[in-house]
Structure 1
Amino acid sequence: MNYRGIDYSVAMTTTPGIWKWQFRIGDEFKAGKTETRIGLLAIRRVQLRIDRALKLAARVPS
């Protein structure tokens, strides 16, 4: 999937209600898990993390 130009993925694990996610911004790779039974909520949580990471990257001078 793509959000704000960032490719990311969200996948259900074998444990019900647990979703794995990952995305990359530049050289920085982020991955983790979120707990929810609703797939769209898992996607939204990853999008919020992407927003936070982009905001932080904009503040840090390169």
Structure 2
Amino acid sequence: MQHRGVQFRMREALPGEWHYRFEIDDKKISGKTQTKLQLLAVRRVKDRINRELKRNAESES
């Protein structure tokens, strides 16, 4: 999947537990979120990508 130019991958590791990974500026980020709904897990990963992009933009300023 892709969000704001960032490719990310997700998979359901256990019922209700989603693992994700993405890369921004050669920094690999991975984690997990717990929810039964796949769409909510996708939303949380997109929010995490947005936070990382914002953090990178602020550090470059």
Same fold per superposition (TM over 0.5): yes
Aligned residues: 61
- Unaligned 5+ segments in structure 2 are none
Normalising by the residue count of structure 2, what TM-score does the alignment of the two structures yield?
0.95
CA distance in 2, matches of 1:27, 1:56: 15
After TM superposition, which residue ranges in structure 1, 4 or more long, deviate above 6 angstroms?
none
In the TM superposition, what whole-angstrom CA distance separates every residue of 1:8-56 from its partner, at most 9, and x where no partner exists? Answer: 011111x210000010001111001100000000000000000000000
Tell me the TM-score normalised to structure 1 length: 0.93
Gaps of 5+ in 1: none
Give the whole-Å Cα distance in 2 for the aligned partners of 1:30 and 1:24. Answer: 6
What RMSD in Å do the two structures reach over aligned CA positions?
1.1
